[in-house]
Each structure stands twice: as C-alpha cells, then as structure tokens.
Amino acid sequence: MSSLNDLAELVISGNYNGAKELTQRLIDNGTEPLEIINQGLMAGMNVVGVRFKAGDMFVPEVMMSAKAMSTGIELVKPLIADRDMPSAGTVLIGTVKGDLHDIGKKLVVMMMESAGFKVIDLGVDISPEAFVEAVKEHKPQAIGMSALLTTTMLSMRDTIEALEEEGLRDSVKIVIGGAPISQSFAEEIGADGYAPDAAAATDLCKKLIA
C-alpha cells in the first residue's frame, strides 16, 4: 500500500494506524504534502461525507474516519506553510447558553475540518456575548450554533440580536442545528440556514461562504 488512493481507502475504513503509517511513508517517499492532504486524506473524508449523508455510514464510523484523517494531517501539517494550507474559510462553532450537549457539535467540527474549513470550536454553554467577542477576535465567515433542548433554542435568537447590536450581523453567515431546530425556526429568528446533520451543515457553509 503506497498510493494516495490507498490512503483515501484507509480514511474511509477508519484505519487510523494504517493511515498514519502510509502518510509517513508517502512523506518519506517525497510525495507533495498538499497532494497527500487533498488527494489522499481529504479525498477519503469526502467519500465518508457522501456516505454519511446517504445513511450508508453512521456516527461511530464517521468519528473513526475523522480520526484517521486527523492523524495523517498532524504529520503533514508541519511541512506546509500556513498560507499553503487549503482553506474553505473560517467557521466559529458553539453550543448555545444553557446547553451542554457536545457530540453532534463535535461531529460537525470534524466534518467541516475535513472539508478544509478552519474551525474554531468555542465549546458548550456559550453566551451571546461570548459569540460576539469571538466574532470580533477571529473574524469568521460563518457561525454554527447548536442546541439540543427546546429551552435553550431562544439563545440563538439572542445571539443574532447581540450580533446586530454590535453591527456584526452582516459580516457572517449563521447556520443553526440540533434536535429541536427546524428550517421554519431558522427563518423566524433570522438565521441564514438550518442543517439537520453534520454533512448538511458542511455543505450549507460551503454554499453560503462561496
């Protein structure tokens, strides 16, 4: 096993030890670092995204594939100048105030990173003020907000209003998701879109930022 296609297959199958070994071998053989990322690691993760969206892969498998991809990227990253790293844009992500749910958000972070986004994960229980400060600091193109409780959904509206008050709303696209969230709720609070799962969130951010 020594080709970029083989590396993509290792990512798809979630074989992180194999992905790590083959990435190192490709580096040692002089393969271009960006080729390893684009045609090997990310190519594999793109297939995972399509299969996940189609219901042919499930969360635990996607997590394994994301780990395989990340393991390879950690080896390649030091060989690439930051300016050369392919970036689809910067996305700020957090679970809203009062909500401590993390698994869905983590999956979104993994899928977005695998699609080439720089993701800043603020964590859970993030207040509107904290989102505003993070937007000022990181200047993202998009914000992803998640909530799993009906009681915390309204914090999404509060965050959008806080961004409006600070004159920042027009500088970012806002995507929301989580079990109780719907497209109609996104429209009601003035978000730019709703995503039912991690793959959809990634696709939506690609469209909105492009």
CATH of domain 4-84: 1.10.1240.10
Residue 16 pLDDT greater than 50, yes or no: yes
* Rounded mean pLDDT, 115-120: 92
Over residues 182-208, the pLDDT tens digits come to: 999 999 999 999 999 988 999 999 999
Domain 89-209: what homologous superfamily?
Answer: Cobalamin-binding domain (3.40.50.280)
Tokens of 189: 């609070």
Q: So where are the chain's domains?
A: 4-84, 89-209
Position 83 scores a pLDDT of 65
Predicted confidence band at 2 (pLDDT cuts at 50, 70, 90)? low
**What is 92-117 written as a DSSP string?**
EEEEETT----HHHHHHHHHHHHTTE
Over residues 18-38, the pLDDT tens digits come to: 999 999 999 999 999 989 998
Find the range with the poorest average confidence among 20-24, 77-81, 150-154.
Answer: 77-81
The reported pTM is: 0.80
Over residues 44-59, the pLDDT tens digits come to: 998 998 899 899 999 8
Share of the chain above pLDDT 70, in %: 98
Decide: residue 151, CB within 10 A, 0-12 exposed, 13-18 middle, 19+ buried. exposed
User: How far, CA to CA in Å, does 122 sit from each of 63, 83, 85, 96, 189?
Assistant: 19, 24, 22, 10, 21
SS3 210: coil
Neighbouring C-beta atoms of residue 167, cutoff 10 Å? 8
* Rounded mean pLDDT, 121-139: 98
